[in-house]
A and B are shown apart, each in its own frame.
Chain A
Amino acid sequence: MFQDDGSSSVTSTPVQMFPSMSMSPSPYPWLKELKSEERGLCLIHLLLTCAKHVASGNFEHANIALDQISHLASPEGDTMQRIASYFAEALANRILKTWPGIYKALHSTRISLASENILVRKMFFEYFPYLKIAFVITNQVIIEAMEGEKIVHVIDLNAAEPTQWRALLRDLSARPEGPPHLRITGVHQQKEVLDQMARILIEEAEKLDIPFQFNPIVSAIENLDVEKLNVKTGEALAISSVLQFHSLLAPDDEVVKSKKNSNGVHLQRVLQVNPKDLANGYSLSQDTASSSPLSSAITSTKIEGFLTALRGLSPKVMVVVEQDSDHNKSGLMERLSESLYFYAALFDCLESTLPRTSMERLKVEKMLFGEEIKNVIACEGGERKERHEKLDKWFQRLDLAGFGCVPLSYYALLQARRLLQGYSCDGCRIKEENGCVVMCWQDRPLFSVSAWKCRR
């Protein structure tokens, strides 16, 4: 499986040096004899090495590392092999982006089926307990907050899973004081998803005889106009944000571009000189852009504005579910090591849930996690949307925007734990931290659920 001139366009030295290579079957026959543990360790080492080279612009060495990884990694192997294959792909993408023309040419013909994406997200809901736990907690929080309210308005910033709201409808109809008038506003980018959700929920409400309205809003979070949410006075508002806020941490591209242009001339000259230097220039400028005080401050990200707008709606309660891992550092190496741990946990969870031959598992790994990994590793600036951060950072941001944390009630936690027990997933754990719930795999925190109210 040795590519004799594999990626020789990047570096010609190996070929020159080892013409004999083209004749040998494989340069690493002994690799096959590696046990899986050693192979895994090799892969980790190789990944780190490769990332280091990429970060420093040393693409020739990075290429060699990638080549070695390719002999060991496989998207259908064991967990470490799978992870390595996706991380290697991400690193390769990162390298390739320094030749934007080649990158675009390679990716322009890719077909991404929206239906597949929807399916994959559904699978993520199915095969992991995490979203279900988040939904159960969210519903419980909403019910508790809306005790005694006659008109309830729920805004779902990612209305993809109707199961959650069906459960809410049922719980509300079982209220001792009877169900309130319920309005749900769903935000999603695809109209079909919203239509489906509307159908399901309206039918459910009809059955339960709850006065119900569903308002679909076809929009991305970044472009959401808060006015369109149509919050009326007198209704009790609840907002649910599941894994949505972190994409707003991406710097506003227009702002960044204007800054770059001022010193862009210098960059362009560098472009023609040397790919290596270009990589430096690229990564350095992007890194500085993202780590400079301006871009990390309020003005060039959308999160502050969005949170303030939400605060302006005076919600009675807001439930925030986010990944609990820092994938937003400006240095590639740090991001890589953090995300290695994070996605290793997720891949392990999948390993314990689905067989290796499962197509669904492959799809979730490739289309969901693989894409996230690619985004974390290969993209910079406004393109990098998967800017996960740890819970304490979210605490700060939400605090700044005028929200106060509401500790989750005992009953919410109880329901979450009960759910988990029923799920019988061995490594999935729940722990409570500062009044919020953090869902973990073994000891690795993965997702956090927290509830917020408006602070005067």
Chain B
Amino acid sequence: MTAEVDNSLALVESAVSGEGSGASPAANVEKPVKRKRNLAGMPDPDAEVIALSPKTLMATNRFVCEICNKGFQRDQNLQLHRRGHNLPWKLKQRTSKEIRKRVYVCPEPSCVHHDPSRALGDLTGIKKHFCRKHGEKKWKCDQCSKKYAVQSDWKAHLKICGTREYKCDCGTLFSRRDSFITHRAFCDALAVESAKGQPEDEPPQKKDEEPKPQSVESTPQSTSTASPPPPPVPLAPTPLTVVAPVTPVASSVLCIKNTPELPEVSELNNDPRPVLDNQPQLVGGLTVSCSGSCSSTHTGSTSSSVFASLFASSTASKSLQSQPPPQPQLQPQTTGYQDLMQTLVQPTQTPDLTLPPVAQEPISLCLSTSPGSSIFRTAGQDIRQYAPPPQPTMSATALLQKAAQMGASASGASLLRGYGLERDDTDGASIALGLGVGYDGRTGFEQLIMGTPSVYGPKHTLDFLGLGMAAGGGTTNGLSALMTSIGGSLDVPKAVSSFGLGGRGSSGEFTGKDMGTQ
């Protein structure tokens, strides 16, 4: 025993540059079990106890280069530095063959760690401890005037000071996440308003904690923190946990087709208003519906479902905006399909929302995602499911292509001319043609269509003032061909005047002018 003590003392003396403090003899703690890594406060019984002086502990750079006076914390570093000066250097090997675990005691007698049984296992640790507890606080934060004795503590604080501030809806600020969450669980403000739009991380939790009713109850549910998965078991409804269903709503709404008890749920999405009043029932309704739909919503997030999850979280619950007076639930039971249709059509947020604009997403947005499945899948499918069957109309793209084709051929243009519509080279008279058709009734129109195709003739080859070139510009765009064909007949005015609509003598003048203006 004493030999060990002497050894440790000797080591202490060699380690310290001169002054030793009142190194108390090591008193090894008897412990039957040897551990590789010590738990806090329970040092290794076989470890050497080392007591360093305050000066040693506070010294920063003990090893100094004689050439340039650069300080180093470790001798090894100094030796490596000496190489740069072409000085002889030697890296010391480990002094003893075995690895001896060392623990350090604090020199301050009043300190808990002064006792070897409460020694700290790490040299850097004891240094920082000594500075923090028994040292002077030399580093100060600008923003919040917090003081630190250890420079690394101060730096770490600077990084987070002011960056992470959690603000409860009631106005209280927190710098720590856990205290914020705890506060929110019991904050009264939450009971009054429904969930404010905050992004939520719903699918990961949903993925991980499938049926966890307790999580819904116990974790404070506003929207932004760990959101509950759709609780498969009916919860005891409390006003607070009501907020939770925000995200389950999204999922359950999507499964609307499968679950009968949907009116409330869908109401939740359709009208933010009923949320407040009917939350208890909603929760009940939700849970039932969710239980049915749980499996379907958990379609297993794939690795590419990050978007899905992000989507659901970002859009869900935003739909539930705080609304003024809660109104009783009104709507009769409607099918989910209709509800979703309604939602799709629902106009966006009411103006009394105070949230940042981005938060105001239309309710229908939350329908577009389903937690646990890819954004893409759900958005496409669900939205399409709820869209009415496409009318048998030609798509615009197809129409354009057809027009282009028609333009290439002459017939199209003349067909359109047959409608008596706008003629590019027309003057008021040929417009009268179009208008006059209406005026005269059907007869003039029929005359147009059937009677006078010859009038229009194949004049479309005439490049109207080089328009074809300007428009075509070398492209084979069919539309440009159409445009070329538009530049057509100059005889129209004459034909028009034959209809006796008071042909204007200026018609020729007009056309001439048109030609001139390009």
Contacts from A to B (Cβ < 8 Å): 13-14, 17-18, 20-21, 24, 26-30, 36-37, 40-42, 44-46, 48-50, 52-53, 56-58, 61, 64-65, 68, 78-80, 83, 113-116, 118-119, 122-123, 126-127, 129, 132, 135-136, 160, 162-163, 166-167, 170-171, 174, 190, 192-193, 195-196, 199-200, 202-204, 206-207, 213, 276, 280, 329, 331, 333-334, 337, 340-341, 344-345, 347-348, 351-360, 363, 415, 418-420, 422-425, 441-442, 444
Give 5 closest A-B pairs by Cβ, nearest first.
Answer: A115-B357, A27-B438, A423-B376, A422-B377, A344-B396
Contact of B311 among A26, A118, A163, A174 (CB under 8 A): A163
Q: Which B340-382 residues have C-beta < 8 A from chain A? A: 341, 344-348, 356-362, 364-365, 368, 373-377, 379-381
Contact of B439 among A27, A65, A114 (CB under 8 A): A27
Q: Give chain B residues whose Cβ lies under 8 Å from the Cβ of A136.
A: 304, 307
Given A114-B357, A126-B365, also A132-B393 (CB < 8 A): no
Q: Which B277-306 residues have C-beta < 8 A from chain A? A: 303-304, 306
Given A132-B376, A359-B345, also A123-B390 (CB < 8 A): no
The verdict on B454 contacting chain A, using a C-beta distance below 8 Å, is: no
In this complex, the member of A48, A78, A83, A195 whose beta carbon has the largest number of chain B beta carbons within 10 angstroms is A48
The verdict on B224 contacting chain A, using a C-beta distance below 8 Å, is: yes
Contact of B403 among A20, A28, A45 (CB under 8 A): A45
B424 near A423 with CB under 8 A, answer no
> How many residues belonging to B are interface residues under a CB distance threshold of 8 Å?
91
Q: Give chain A residues whose Cβ lies under 8 Å from the Cβ of B470.
A: 331, 333
Q: Which B218-243 residues have C-beta < 8 A from chain A? A: 224
Q: How far is the CA of A13 from the CA of B400 in the complex (A)?
A: 32
Q: Give chain B residues whose Cβ lies under 8 Å from the Cβ of A170.
A: 306
The verdict on B265 contacting chain A, using a C-beta distance below 8 Å, is: no
Contact of B483 among A24, A199, A203, A333 (CB under 8 A): A333
B422 near A348 with CB under 8 A, answer no
Q: How far is the CA of A174 from the CA of B302 in the complex (A)?
A: 13
Q: Give chain A residues whose Cβ lies under 8 Å from the Cβ of B475.
A: 334
Quick one: closest A residue to B364, CB to CB? A360
Q: How far is the CA of A190 from the CA of B358 in the complex (A)?
A: 10
Q: How far is the CA of A334 from the CA of B384 in the complex (A)?
A: 34
A68 near B377 with CB under 8 A, answer no
Q: List 18 A-B contacts (CB under 8 A).
A: A14-B435, A21-B439, A27-B435, A37-B402, A40-B399, A42-B416, A44-B400, A45-B416, A49-B486, A68-B421, A78-B393, A80-B399, A118-B357, A202-B164, A206-B164, A213-B163, A345-B397, A355-B341
Contact of A57 among B362, B376, B517 (CB under 8 A): B517
B384 near A424 with CB under 8 A, answer yes
Given A42-B421, A132-B307, also A359-B348 (CB < 8 A): yes
A356 near B400 with CB under 8 A, answer no
B362 near A360 with CB under 8 A, answer yes
A199 near B199 with CB under 8 A, answer yes
Q: Which B385-433 residues have C-beta < 8 A from chain A? A: 386-388, 390-391, 393-397, 399-400, 402-403, 406, 412-413, 416, 419, 421-422, 424, 426, 428, 431-432
B387 near A353 with CB under 8 A, answer yes
The verdict on B471 contacting chain A, using a C-beta distance below 8 Å, is: yes
B112 CB → nearest A CB, Å? 31
Q: How far is the CA of A123 from the CA of B367 in the complex (A)?
A: 12
The verdict on B310 contacting chain A, using a C-beta distance below 8 Å, is: yes
- Apart from A21-B439, A49-B486, A122-B358: 10 A-B pairs, beta carbons within 8 A: A163-B307, A196-B359, A341-B397, A348-B397, A354-B344, A355-B387, A359-B348, A360-B344, A363-B348, A441-B397
A52 near B486 with CB under 8 A, answer yes
A344 near B435 with CB under 8 A, answer no
Q: How far is the CA of A167 from the CA of B308 in the complex (A)?
A: 9
Given A41-B399, A340-B479, also A119-B376 (CB < 8 A): no
Q: How far is the CA of A114 from the CA of B356 in the complex (A)?
A: 10
Quick one: closest B residue to A27, CB to CB? B438
Q: How far is the CA of A390 from the CA of B177 in the complex (A)?
A: 48
B480 near A337 with CB under 8 A, answer yes
Q: How far is the CA of A160 from the CA of B361 in the complex (A)?
A: 13
A166 near B422 with CB under 8 A, answer no
Contact of B435 among A18, A360, A418 (CB under 8 A): A18
Given A52-B424, A337-B471, A355-B388, also A419-B376 (CB < 8 A): yes
A193 near B479 with CB under 8 A, answer no
